Amino acid sequence: MSPPQVIVASAHPYMPEMRLGTSYLAEALANRGWDVLYLDQPTSLLHLVHPRSSGIARRKLRSAAETARGREQVFATPAGGSVRLLSVAAWWPHVNVPVFRNAFILDRWWRHTYPSITRYVAASGFSDARALLFDSPYFHSLGGALGVPTVYRYADRIQCFPEVTPALVDKQQAVFRDAALVVHTSKALLDDLGGREGKTLYLPNGVDIDRFYGSWDEPEELRGIAGPRIIYAGTIGPWFDWTALLAAAQASPDLQFVLLGKVTTDLPQALPGNVHLLGAVPFARIPSFLAHCQAGIIPFDAAAMPELVNAINPLKLYEYCAAGLPVVSYASAEIEAAAGHVRLYRTPGEFAEGVKAVLAEETAPAREARRAWADGTSWRRRGEELERAILAL
């Protein structure tokens, strides 16, 4: 019997520096014996000439050329499954610049790609895939072209991101209506589905806990930073609560705050000497950084961006707990699901006090309890739930 197949289309690459949930689910299905065709966001000549995206665009264009020659990357799993990477370039990309950000191009970009997506799907034997799993309305029209059931992974309120076009926001309403299944990562996101009559599945983020066990050499970037170290690992965007972070840094000059991730927002004019911006690192190195820090933080500004922040199910929560770290996080209904393993804050003062408190109260049993909780949220379990849902379509 041939393995079951699924096509995954994501706004994010399969192996980026900071890996996100859709790629973990693709890997989880492959680990259950599925053959996965993974398509990430197409690149274009417009991306190539833009200074912020030119480096990534060059890599993607090279990958598209290799794919066209039949040299695409394939990752096999011990369970007999695989993840095959499909990189393409779009001649008419839907991007947030005049002429290209309209609904006409959004509905048709997939017709003009190199290599052709539809021809590649047919040639590689994925025409009978059980579903198209996608995480951006960008891929909605592609689902109709492929003629397979569509599963939408709804993880963020995209209208809160300035780069998202009005056409994409409007298209998401059609996705909510038309998808065979909507998978939402937080309970707050269910409220956005309105009067949807189709199937839904609450499937939060997870963690590969085995990645966080073992001994790790201290990363070179940390060797000049004395402890105790408090780490944030993730994108530093407009939602980052700088007021809380700076209050904690100033209240505890003996603590070192390590910020690990890409910066996509303006930074404060002056940072205290105990705040260290290390930039992004490959996701495979994150466990080594967590292993040599003493607490993890999730300082999101729920007061300034409540619509976005209160609907997030933070991946870093699971990774911190898998590493055994005590956690201080902004308060939301989704975070409270980890009650007993996370200290919540609502004001900058509570954040500053919380960081000191979790360090003072840390015990070996508490550390193991956090790891046990994280183990119950593994991507393996999330993959099993998703598999059952897809097979039931």
In the prediction, which pLDDT does 20 show?
84
pLDDT at residue 30 tops 90: yes
Q: Where are the beta strands (DSSP E) in 113-180?
A: 113-114, 132-134, 150-154
User: Which one of 3.30.750.24, 3.40.50.2300, 3.40.50.2000, 3.40.50.11540 gives the CATH number of domain 209-375?
Assistant: 3.40.50.2000
Q: At what angle do helices 379-391 and 21-30 cross, to 10 degrees?
A: 70
Q: How confident is the model at residue 59 (pLDDT cuts 50, 70, 90)?
A: confident
pLDDT at residue 303 tops 70: yes
In the prediction, which pLDDT does 196 show?
81
pLDDT at residue 51 tops 80: no
In the prediction, which pLDDT does 16 show?
61
In the prediction, which pLDDT does 18 show?
65
Distance CA 47, CA 56 (A): 8
pLDDT at residue 228 tops 80: yes
pLDDT digits (tens, 9 = 90+) for 333-359: 889 888 789 999 999 999 999 999 999
The CATH architecture that domain 5-206+378-391 belongs to is: 3-Layer(aba) Sandwich (3.40)
pLDDT at residue 250 tops 70: yes
pLDDT at residue 378 tops 90: yes
Q: How confident is the model at residue 68 (pLDDT cuts 50, 70, 90)?
A: confident
In the prediction, which pLDDT does 64 show?
83
Q: Where are the beta strands (DSSP E) in 149-244?
A: 150-154, 181-184, 199-202, 229-233
Domain limits, the chain: 5-206+378-391, 209-375
| Mean pLDDT (whole number) for 185-205 | 91
In the prediction, which pLDDT does 293 show?
96
User: For 44-58, 65-79, 149-163, which range has the lowest pLDDT when averaged over its residues?
Assistant: 44-58
Q: How confident is the model at residue 177 (pLDDT cuts 50, 70, 90)?
A: very high
User: For 11-15, 53-57, 69-73, 298-302, which range has the lowest pLDDT when averaged over its residues?
Assistant: 53-57
User: For 130-139, 148-157, 206-215, 344-353, which range has the lowest pLDDT when averaged over its residues?
Assistant: 206-215
Tell me if domain 5-206+378-391 and domain 209-375 are identical in fold: yes
Q: How confident is the model at residue 282 (pLDDT cuts 50, 70, 90)?
A: confident
